[in-house]
Amino acid sequence: MRMVNGVEMDQVMNQKKSSSFPSASKSPVSGTRPVSGTRILGIETSCDETAAAVIEDGRLILSNCVASQVELHARFGGVFPEVASRQHIRTILPIIEEALQQAHMSLGEIGAVAVTRGPGLPGSLVVGMNTAKGIVLGSGLPLLGINHLEAHIYSAWLAVNPPQPLPPEPRFPLLVLIVSGGHTELILMKGHLDYERLGATLDDAAGEAFDKVARLIGLGYPGGPAIQEASASGDPRAFKFPRAWLEGSWDFSFSGLKTAVLREVRDLQRVYDTLPAADLAASFQAAVVEVLVGKAFKAASAFGAAEILVAGGVSANMALRGALHAQADFPVHIPPIALCTDNAAMVASAGYYRFTAGQQDGLDMDILPNWPLIEV
Ligand code: ADP
Ligand code: MG
C-alpha cells in the first residue's frame, strides 16, 4: 500500500498531465497477470481519505492507494468538510490511475466499479460517486453503491498479494463490532450481506471520543493514535473513569466518560501547570477498551456467535487489539492496521460480494449521507 499526502499527489498529478486515463476499450497494460477472477475497482471518498484499490475475487489486494488529508485538517482540529471535498476533487483521478497502474491493469480487466455511497460527508461522497459514474459511463462497466460500514466489515476478508496464502475467512454467525470516527455498532452477521443490528452508541462514537478527549488533554489530531502513543508511558489505573455498561441493552455511551475526563482536567488545571497527559490518556483508553471488549464478548456469548470481527479506525488501537487477542473464548478477526482506517480495498471487497449477489446500480443513484447498515 502506498500512503500519499496532498503535496505528493500534486506532484503525481503534474507528472501525469500528459498521460491519458485508461479506458475499457484499451488493451491490458501489463499482460503479466493471467486474466482470471473478478476484479473490482473500489473508490472511497466518504470523509478525509481519497482512496482507490483493485481487488480480485473479493479478498486479494492487487493495489490499495490512499491519499490522506490528515495534515490538511490537523490545523482545524477535525475534518473541515469543504476543504475535504475540494481536496478529493484534486486527488481522485490521480489516485485511481495510481491504483490501476499498481495493479498492472487497465479498466478493460476490471469487472465492476464499487464506490462508497454513504454514510459520510455529502460534499466528499459526491466526488467519489460522480467520478465512479463518469468511469462507468465511459467504459460500460457495472456500477455498485456500497455502504461504508459494510465496507469496514469486509476489510476483515482481505489479504495482501503476493505471496501469502489467503487466511481463513471469518465464520458465521459473526459478532461484529464496528468502531470508527463516526460509528460504534454491535452487529450480528448471519451470512454474507446479512446483518442484524444489536446496538449502537447513543451519543459519541468511540473514535470521536478518542479525538475529543485528545483535544481536552492537549494531544494532537487525530486523537486515537495520539492517545495510544501517550498511553504507552501512562498508568491506566491513575484515574477511575466511569464505564457505561448500559445493562440490559447492547448500546454504548461515551459522553459521560468524556465529561468525566473534562471535569478531571479542570480540577487538575486549578492545581498544576501541566496535565499528566500520559496517565489521563491511559486511564481513558482503558475505560473505552474495557467496555468495547466486555460488551462484544457478552453479545458473542448471548447470540451464539462462532467468531468475533472488529473493524473501523479504532480497531487499530493496540490496547484494544491486545485485549481481544488475550482471550481464548472466540477466534477474533481484526484487519491489519493499514486496513483499519478508511481505504478503498474494503469498498471493493464488499463490492465483490454485492456484485456476485446480483447488485447493479443505475446512473441515477444518489449518495446517502446517513445510510444505516441495517437498511442496506
Ligand atoms: P470514519 O470511517 O468514521 O471516518 P475511520 O474508520 O477512518 O473513521 O477511523 C478514524 C477514527 O479512528 C478516528 O476517530 C481516529 O481517532 C480513530 N483511530 C485511528 N487510529 C486509532 C488508534 N490507534 N487508537 C484509537 N483510535 C484510533
Ligand atoms: Mg471509516
Check residue 36 and give its pLDDT: 65
Q: What is the pLDDT of residue 3?
A: 33
Between the CA of 313 and the centroid of ligand 1 the distance, in Å, is 3
Which atom, in ligand 1's list, is nearest to the CA of 152?
6
* Side-chain-facing half-sphere of 133: CA atoms under 13 Å: 14
Alpha carbon 330 to chain centroid distance? Answer: 23
For position 8, what pLDDT does the model report?
Answer: 36
pLDDT tens for each residue of 103-132: 999 999 999 999 999 999 999 999 999 999
- pLDDT the model gives residue 27: 33
Supply the pLDDT for residue 365.
98
Question: What stretches of 87-245 adopt beta strand conformation (E)?
Answer: 112-118, 143-147, 159-160, 174-179, 184-191, 194-200
> What is the pLDDT, as a whole number, of residue 221?
85
Report the candidate in 86, 150, 139, 90 with the shortest Cα–Cα distance to residue 115: 150
Q: What residues have CB less than 8 Å from 64, skipping those under 6 apart? A: 1, 51, 53, 99, 338, 339, 343, 344, 345
- Distance (Å) from CA 143 to ligand 1 centroid: 28
Q: What is the pLDDT of residue 34?
A: 41
Q: 268 CA to middle of ligand 2, Å?
A: 34
Grid coordinates of 103: 495493479
DSSP string, 186-221: EEEEEETTEEEEEEEBSSS-HHHHHHHHHHHTT--S
Q: How far apart are CA 149 and CA 170, in angstroms?
A: 17
Non-local (6+) Cβ contacts of 14 within 8 A are: none
Q: Domains in the chain, ordered, with CATH?
A: 2-158+340-375 (3.30.420.40), 174-334 (3.30.420.40)
- What's the sign of the alpha-carbon dihedral 80, 85, 91, 96? positive
Q: Check: CB of residue 261 under 8 Å from CB of residue 217.
A: yes
Atom 8, ligand 1: which residue's CA is nearest? 181
Alpha-carbon distance of 120 to 125, in angstroms, equals 6
| pLDDT at residue 376, rounded to an integer | 87
Residue numbers in the chain where pLDDT is lower than 50: 1-35
Q: Is the whole-model pTM more than 0.75?
A: yes
